[in-house]
Amino acid sequence: NRLAWLYPNSQWSIIRKYAATLHSTVIQSFQKKILKTSDGVIPYGGERRPDRFIYPNGSVIWLGGMDKASKVLSSERDGIYVNQAEELDNTDWEFLITRANGRAGNAPFGIVFGDCNPGPPTHWILQRVKRGMVFLRATHKDNPELFDPETGEITPNGEKRLKALQSLTGSSYNRLYKGLWSQPEGA
C-alpha cells in the first residue's frame, strides 16, 4: 500500500496460489485493516470481488492467482506481493520474477516479496535462501494484533489465537506455533 502511494503510476500485484482464496483471506484483511475510506482508493471489478485497486496517483494493485498464470503473463509490474508463498512452487516464483524485473519502470526497482508459514526443511523457499534470497524471520511477537508494540504485552486477541496454536500437535505445532521448518510425521 505504501509503495503504491510512494511511486505514482506504479503497477503492483497481490498474488496467491489459487485466485479463489484471495478475496476471503488477504484482500479481506487489506480492505479492513489497511485501506481507509479517506485514501480514495477505488476497487474495480465489483465491490465484493475486485480485480484491482486504483489509487488517486494512478498506481494500481492487480489481484490474481497462479492457477490462472495467463492473467499474469505479459504483465509488467513494479512489484508483486505473494501471500502464503509456501503454497507456490519454485516455477511459480520464477515466473513472477520475470514480471517484476524492472521493466515496468515506475519504481526504481523491481521486487517480488511475500509472507509464508514454515513448511518442510526441504522447501524451495529455504533452497532459494541458501542461494542468496533475502529471508526475514518474524515471530508472533512481531504481530501487533497479538502483542502490543509499545509494551510487548500479549493482547486479549493474542491470547486467544496463541492458545489455539498451542493446542496443535506434531508438525503443525512446530510450524504454526514455534515457527520451525519441520517435516510432517510419516513423510
Task: Determine the pLDDT at residue 32.
Answer: 92
- Per-residue pLDDT, averaged over 121-145, amounts to 96
For the stretch 7-46, pLDDT in tens is 999 999 999 999 999 999 999 999 999 999 899 999 998 6
Task: Determine the pLDDT at residue 184.
Answer: 79
DSSP calls for 97-113: HTTSSSTT-SSSS-EEE
Task: Determine the pLDDT at residue 187.
Answer: 62
- Please report which helix (H) or strand (E) contains residue 150, including its range: none
DSSP state of 58: S
For the stretch 49-95, pLDDT in tens is 899 999 999 999 999 999 977 777 778 999 999 999 999 999 999 99
Distances (CA, A) of 58 to 9, 28, 61, 64, 127: 4, 22, 10, 19, 37
Report pTM.
0.92
3-state secondary structure 36-56: CHHHCCEEECCCCCCCEEECC
